[in-house]
Amino acid sequence: MPPHLRTLITLDDARRRLYDGDLLLFRRRGLIAVAGRGEHSHAAKVAWWGDTPFCLEVREWHGGRAVTLASQVRCCPGRIDVFRTNPSGRWSEYDRMQSTRYMRRLAGCDYGYRAVAAAALLHLPFVRLLVRPEVEDDAVDRRPPFCSQACAMADRIAGGVDPAPYLADRLTEPADLARSPFYEYQFTLTGE
């Protein structure tokens, strides 16, 4: 999204507009953003614990974890885009609480380094000619997930809606989630 189209809002002002299961997409230069299909390099989900919004994520070097959203905004001011999950309730079967629970259960899991490397390899020109990407989620992948894979799995397996129906979870990148009609950009979080 071009910078002039972003709506900047502080976390304090955004609190009433954050819901469990909303998608957080981080913009920064990294392997996933450079090799991928868009400007986002990391995906996570919002979860409320009491009156504190948390960021549920599967992050390189850390694996699955839950950290306060405020800590992430301090670390990445102006680079966290918030997307409403299931805008306007279009998918009536979606269960945002189950999706959020699924992401919470990933806390402590390893990071899927092999999975992200396999997804990145599909971008190499020669490999793209020889290998067709998987489009179906035949079964739950038991290997550790990477960030956007975890978000897609949470919404598909627990939430009941596949956000990228023509792409396997294990190949879903943050940019794929940003383009999905299952999510709608709301605002970008800035520092205080």
CB atoms near residue 5 (< 10 Å): 8
Assigned domain for 2 exists: no
Average pLDDT estimate for 69-91:
96
Assigned domain for 165 exists: yes
Query: 21 vs 36, which has greater pLDDT?
Result: 21
Is the pLDDT score of 101 beyond 70? yes
Q: How confident is the model at residue 5 (pLDDT cuts 50, 70, 90)?
A: confident
3-state secondary structure at position 78: coil
CATH of the domain at 56: 3.90.1720.10
Instruction: Report the predicted TM-score, pTM, of the whole model to 2 decimal places.
Output: 0.87
| Spatial CA neighbour of 24 closest among 50, 42, 49, 3 | 42
The model's pLDDT over 23-75, given as tens digits with 9 standing for 90+, comes to: 999 997 655 445 556 789 999 999 999 999 999 999 988 899 999 999 999 99
Query: How far is 50 from 64, CA to CA, in rounded Å?
Result: 20
Per-residue confidence (pLDDT) for residue 38, from 0 to 100: 79
* Number of separate domains in the chain: 1
Name 43's bridge partners. 25
Query: 114 vs 161, which has greater pLDDT?
Result: 161
Is the pLDDT score of 188 beyond 60? yes
Structural domain span for residue 15? 8-189
Assigned domain for 23 exists: yes
Per-residue confidence (pLDDT) for residue 2, from 0 to 100: 63
The model's pLDDT over 130-187, given as tens digits with 9 standing for 90+, comes to: 555 555 565 555 778 999 999 999 999 999 999 999 888 888 899 999 999 999 999 9
Query: 165 vs 119, which has greater pLDDT?
Result: 165
Assigned domain for 125 exists: yes
| Spatial CA neighbour of 8 closest among 71, 81, 75, 70 | 81
Based on DSSP, count helices (H) and strands (E) in the chain, helices before strands: 8, 7
Average pLDDT estimate for 20-24:
98
Is the pLDDT score of 125 beyond 70? no
Assigned domain for 1 exists: no
Assigned domain for 93 exists: yes
Assigned domain for 3 exists: no
